[in-house]
C-alpha cells in the first residue's frame, strides 16, 4: 500500500484521492479546535503560505477522539479555523485516527512510522501526561493526542512523525529538505 492509495472525505461528503497529490511534500495533521495545541494552526498556516507554491500541502483532519476537543460538525470546525486562524489549507471531514473506525490513511501512516519524535525533557513529560488522558491510544503506534504530524516526501514515503509538542515552525527545516 502507498499513501497515494488512500481517500479522504471532504467536509461536504465528497471523496478526495491522495493520488492527486503525487509529487508534493505532505504534512498530515489530526487537529482539534478546543485543545491546548490548537494555536498551532497559526504556525501551520504560516508554513502553508510559505511553501504551498513550492509543492507543499497540509492535510488537516479534525479528530474528536482525544478529550472531545473537536466539538461541532465539519462546517463549524471549518468556520472556527478560518475565522480564528485564517487557515487556507485543505481541511477534511472529522475522522478517527485510532481504533476499529480509524481512517485507512492513519493505519498506513502508523505502520510506516510507529513512534512520535519527542525531544526535550519538558515535552517528554507533557506527552507522558497526555498518554494517560488518551482513552483511544490502546496499542503501540496509536496516535496519542491531537496535532500529531506526519511528513511525507515527494515520492510518498513517510519521513517523519512528530508529537503534538512539536510546533509547526520546528518542522520548517525538515520540510525545506524535501521540497
pLDDT, position 85: 97
Tens-level pLDDT at each residue, the chain (179 residues): 789 999 999 989 999 999 999 999 999 999 999 999 999 999 999 999 999 999 999 999 999 999 888 989 999 999 999 999 999 999 999 999 999 999 999 999 999 987 766 666 666 666 666 666 666 767 778 898 999 999 999 999 999 999 999 999 999 999 999 99
Given the residues 35, 63, 81, 137, select the one marked as catalytic. Answer: 35
Q: What is the pLDDT of residue 1?
A: 75
Q: Which CATH number fits domain 3-178: 3.40.50.10320, 3.40.30.10, 3.40.50.2300, 3.40.640.10?
A: 3.40.30.10
Cell of 47: 508554513
pTM for the full predicted model: 0.91
Please report the pLDDT score of residue 71 as a whole number.
87
Q: Where in the chain are the domains?
A: 3-178
Cα distance between residue 70 and residue 15, in whole Å: 21
How many CB atoms lie under 10 A from the CB of residue 109? 23
In Å, how far are 100, 145, 178 from 136, measured between CA atoms?
A: 10, 9, 32
Annotation says 63 is catalytic: no
Query: How far is it, in rounded angstroms, from Cα 6 to Cα 23?
Result: 15
Give the whole-angstrom CA distance, residue 143 versus residue 55. Answer: 26
Q: Please give the grid coordinates belonging to residue 7.
A: 481517500
> For strand 15-17 and strand 56-62, is the pairing parallel, antiparallel, or unpaired?
unpaired
Pairing status of strand 158-162 against strand 149-152? antiparallel
β-pair type (25-31, 56-62) = parallel
Amino acid at each position: 500500500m502507498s499513501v497515494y492509495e488512500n481517500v479522504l472525505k471532504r467536509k461536504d461528503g465528497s471523496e478526495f484521492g491522495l493520488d492527486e497529490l503525487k509529487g508534493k511534500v505532505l504534512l498530515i495533521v489530526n487537529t482539534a479546535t478546543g485543545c491546548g495545541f490548537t494555536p498551532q494552526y497559526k504556525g501551520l498556516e504560516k508554513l502553508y503560505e510559505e511553501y504551498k507554491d513550492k509543492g507543499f500541502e497540509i492535510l488537516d483532519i479534525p479528530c474528536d477522539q482525544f478529550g472531545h476537543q473537536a466539538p461541532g460538525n465539519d462546517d463549524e470546525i471549518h468556520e472556527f479555523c478560518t475565522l480564528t486562524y485564517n487557515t487556507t489549507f485543505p481541511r477534511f471531514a472529522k475522522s478517527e485516527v485510532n481504533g476499529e473506525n480509524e481512517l485507512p490513511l492513519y493505519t498506513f501512516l502508523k505502520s510506516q512510522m510507529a513512534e512520535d519524535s519527542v525531544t526535550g525533557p519538558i515535552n517528554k513529560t507533557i506527552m507522558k501526561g497526555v498518554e494517560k488522558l488518551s482513552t483511544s491510544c490502546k496499542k503501540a503506534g496509536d496516535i496519542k493526542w491531537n496535532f500529531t504530524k506526519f511528513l511525507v516526501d515527494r515520492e510518498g514515503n513517510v519521513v517523519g512523525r512528530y508529537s503534538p509538542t512539536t510546533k509547526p515552525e520546528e518542522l520548517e527545516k525538515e520540510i525545506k529538505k524535501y521540497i
